[in-house]
Amino acid sequence: MTPVARCGTMIRRPISEVFEAFVDPAITCHFWYSRGSGRLKPGGKVRWDWEMFDVGTNVTVTAAQSRARSNSISLS
């Protein structure tokens, strides 16, 4: 069985700002990881590093789309 984690939270910001916060490593590094190698875009490969824990991972973006009413990002 593949491990799965799900979480959710209320964010009181416009959808476009929230989406940008997740795809832009210059913003995401303020609340998630220490360093990201690039923007999330479909088919892209990036590296995320948590320097304080001396750990990192390579991420493949399988989908990322921004819409007026909802956004979605899929990673593997």
Domain range for 61 is 15-75
Look at residue 53 and tell me if it is in a domain. yes
Number of domains in the chain: 1
Look at residue 23 and tell me if it is in a domain. yes
Mean pLDDT, to the nearest integer, of 24-45? 93
Look at residue 41 and tell me if it is in a domain. yes
Look at residue 4 and tell me if it is in a domain. no
How would you list the strands of the sheet with 45-50, edge to edge?
Answer: 35-36, 45-50, 55-66, 71-75
Binning pLDDT at 50, 70 and 90, where does residue 45 land? Answer: very high
Q: What is the CATH number of the domain that holds 47?
A: 3.30.530.20
Report whether pLDDT(62) > 70: yes
Look at residue 1 and tell me if it is in a domain. no
Cβ distance 60 to 42 under 8 Å?
no
Binning pLDDT at 50, 70 and 90, where does residue 8 land? Answer: confident
